[in-house]
Amino acid sequence: MPDMRALDGLLLLDKPVGCTSNGVLQQVRRLFGAKKAGHTGSLDPSATGMLPICFGEGTKLCAYLLDAEKTYEVEGVLGQSTDTEDADGEIVAEGPVPAITQAQMHQTVQGFLGHSMQVPPAYSAIKRNGVRAHKLARKGVEVQLEPRAIEVKSIELLAFSADRFSLRLCVSKGTYIRSIVRDIGDSFGCGAHVSRLRRVSVSPFEQQRMYSIDEIQQIENKDSLLLAVDEVISDWQSLTLDSERAMLFRHGAKPQIDYAVETTSASADTAEDQSGGPSKDLLRIYDPSEKFLGLGKISDGRLETVRIIGGQLQ
């Protein structure tokens, strides 16, 4: 195993099936020999797909990807409900699948588009009285979770047969795909569970390539797979400071800002996050050489230091 080293950057991992997100995180950290690493939103062991992993200074930005939109492809099986709402669980109910037309399935699926209140699965990481719900459920404790506000931004029926359907959907943070599949089955009175789930992308990485564990193991220059840490927030507004203001910013002072904020992104929606999350009104800050300095916020004409990023991927 290589010596552990300071390493800054972001890896888009294609998580394999059958392992926990933390388990694969530790495997990747060892492959890169990185002292510090973190992931940006768990995938169930049975799920595959994009799991962004942040190294070093990148871990300071992990929280902002937790709020990001995510796109999934999922296959659901009608006629069987499981306790975990996926194929890993025990079957708790079975029922005949009614004759459903393509048009009926399409109409039902489209009914999930937009804002709604969703009851999360009992087997989830949500805490009840300080304990993860899945831990209580595995002990046989009946878990009743409160509905939570979610948004399905897009949803498409990819395939449909007598007892199976496939969807592609883009959702807000906190949305459980298992629960959407469950609710589709319940709407037809026969139940349903997830048989396959893949996270296709995490915003803003819709067009970026993922790398599997096997690919990482085979590449000698593994650092070449990393993105710069500021790619995590590449669709935020940015502000480039002159040398004097950059120095003040890095020392926690509040330099006066008397010129317009220049954006380098095609969309600055996340700089004014509609969810009211931690990214609201924050800016990417750069020095004259375009080195990423950290996060800031303008208040009363002055730039407040929110987060200093000490490392930079070269």
Among residues 8, 14, 44, 235, the one annotated as catalytic is 44
**Integer angstrom CA distances of residue 238 from 67, 204, 257, 298:** 19, 15, 13, 12
258 is annotated as an active-site residue: no
The answer to whether the Cα torsion of 251, 256, 259, 262 is positive or negative is positive
Q: Which residue has the tokens 């807000």?
A: 172
User: What HEC string does the chain produce?
Assistant: CCCCECCCEEEEEEECCCCCHHHHHHHHHHHHCECCEEECCCCCCCCEEEEEEEEHHHHHHHHHHHCCCEEEEEEEEECEEECCCECCCCEEEECCCCCCCHHHHHHHHHCCCEEEEECCCCCCCCEECCEEHHHHHHCCCCCCCCCEEEEEEEEEEEEECCCEEEEEEEECCCCCHHHHHHHHHHHCCCCEEEEEEEEEEECCCCCCCCECHHHHHHCCCHHHHCECHHHHHCCCCEEECCHHHHHHHHCCCCCECCCCCCCCCCCCHHHHCCCCCCCCCCEEEECCCCCEEEEEEEECCEEEEEEECCCCCC
Active site residues: 44
